[in-house]
Structure 1
């Protein structure tokens, strides 16, 4: 069945995402966040009568395009909307100079690392369109209801070591500059745009940070400079962020695109849960 593809209307796109993406309570908010990306990003939102796709590419890697979000309303699934939208996204990406398309997160402003394996229809669609699975990523989940997020003893110990822990306010730019210098521009954008940002400093210099809500509803990124590692700063910052998330009404927190499983398991009892497959296909 042929479907006409047109520019998406933001409110309608958010409604479709909320109805289709049932594993993500913040699906409608994701549409808004993806529509306010970093300045170096070209992007578009396309729609049929029953579905929507958001796609982008960044100047740091202009040959690679990303399918950032794909959703088909439950009442329209199985009627070819997804296929039509992906092909339209590929055509737009090729017109922008991309030579490869990926079902994979385009950090720093992304929805998921890849396709959640529980959205099985999306994985099947990608494979039917010739995409290859090339990587896997995972999230951890921290239950916030009964979690021990106390930091009092650790804060006192860090203070004796000359380290102060703070919530960023008007000094957010200072923290973002530290993140840019120690890691990269991607994490710095997330720190600058996060809902909450905590950091540690010693002798007036930032030595660690942790953010939440840069990707709606998720924790991260976080990092500690080499000279401050091994002191427990990361655990304190993690717990302070999760406490913020609990105070904001969340019963659990997703820790996105996880590397150190043992750290999060030990610090807050987090468990590995969501698994994402990353797909790619050459366009040329």
Structure 2
């Protein structure tokens, strides 16, 4: 058996990484979106979110890839994929150990097996990727959160997710509320609104949604004042989110209208099942779009410098 060597990959090797992910990601929905997934994680580095990509080789063959990023004091594993023919041969362990050391040298004091918004593949490890969970536990990672996605069925015209919004929009218009598609010129106001109203990294996700051909955003406003927004496609075309409405507008129906306008866009683009990522208000999405909880994720973390086998300690 050839020894495993680890090397940092450059963007020129992205196509090889995409092909590896198509073979390595066991869930069909993940494998089908390998290209936009890798592009989202690899190419959207920023000054406050540097990205490191490592490849595992057996001879000249790329057999594993890890995409990591650094945010504050945390190093994130955004994607870890190993070719099926070399699993259970130490490839994933070698990649993770190498990434831990590299990110520690860059100032990370803990490692997180979880998404790093605004650009992330998944909230954490899908519970169906059992080998990844076993690896995390073997290396001393502890589960500290659980997250979930909901699925909206867009495959049929009769789906609750595709219910018409015209009557609700007319009612809102009678209250002085305009609902419309966001344009690139709206982006500065939208990102400021998201950052100041909700915090987090939604402003970055909006920047990845507005004005792109495979993504989009709808907003609600009254007299030029933003009341809410809903976006899709920032991570990849089939994913919905983020969305938010001001507390004063909760219960007005604005959220349901914005949500279904986005889902109709995704249906028009040929998507039959939309993933509502990293969901908070489960009842809202169930009521407004008939969405169901489908994907569940475990999120893990470990302090770097603590003894574990991946670092050779």
TM tier, smaller = over 0.9
Among candidates 196, 199, 216, match of residue 219 of structure 2? 199
- Tell me, yes or no, if the aligned pair for 1:173 and 1:192 is still in contact at 8 Å: no
Q: Is 2:206 the counterpart of 1:186?
A: no
1:186, distance to aligned residue in structure 2 (A): 0.7
For structure 1, which segment, 190-199 or 19-28, has the greater mean C-alpha deviation from structure 2 after superposition? 19-28
For residues 8-52 of structure 1, the C-alpha deviation after alignment (integer angstroms, 9 at most, x for no partner) is: 221111111121113212122211111213441112100012000
Quote the residue 1:56 is aligned against: 69
2: CA distance, partners of 1:204 / 1:210: 17
- Tell me, yes or no, if the aligned pair for 1:38 and 1:109 is still in contact at 8 Å: no
Among candidates 169, 176, 200, match of residue 162 of structure 1? 176
Q: Runs (4+) of structure 1 moved beyond 4 Å?
A: none
For residues 154-177 of structure 1, the C-alpha deviation after alignment (integer angstroms, 9 at most, x for no partner) is: 111111111010111132332222
Q: Is 2:276 the counterpart of 1:255?
A: yes
1:227, distance to aligned residue in structure 2 (A): 2.3
Specify every segment of 5 or more residues in structure 1 that has no aligned partner in the other structure, as ranges: none
Specify every segment of 5 or more residues in structure 2 that has no aligned partner in the other structure, as ranges: 58-62, 210-214, 306-313
Q: Is 2:171 the counterpart of 1:175?
A: no
Q: Is 2:49 the counterpart of 1:41?
A: yes
- Normalised to the residue count of structure 1, the TM-score between the two structures is 0.95
- Tell me, yes or no, if the aligned pair for 2:36 and 2:235 is still in contact at 8 Å: no
Aligned length: 281
Q: CA RMSD in A?
A: 1.3
1:185, distance to aligned residue in structure 2 (A): 5.3
Distance 1:283 1:221, change over 3 A: same
- Tell me, yes or no, if the aligned pair for 1:132 and 1:279 is still in contact at 8 Å: yes
Quote the residue 2:36 is aligned against: 29
2: CA distance, partners of 1:278 / 1:165: 36
For structure 1, which segment, 148-157 or 82-91, has the greater mean C-alpha deviation from structure 2 after superposition? 148-157
For structure 1, which segment, 226-235 or 265-274, has the greater mean C-alpha deviation from structure 2 after superposition? 226-235
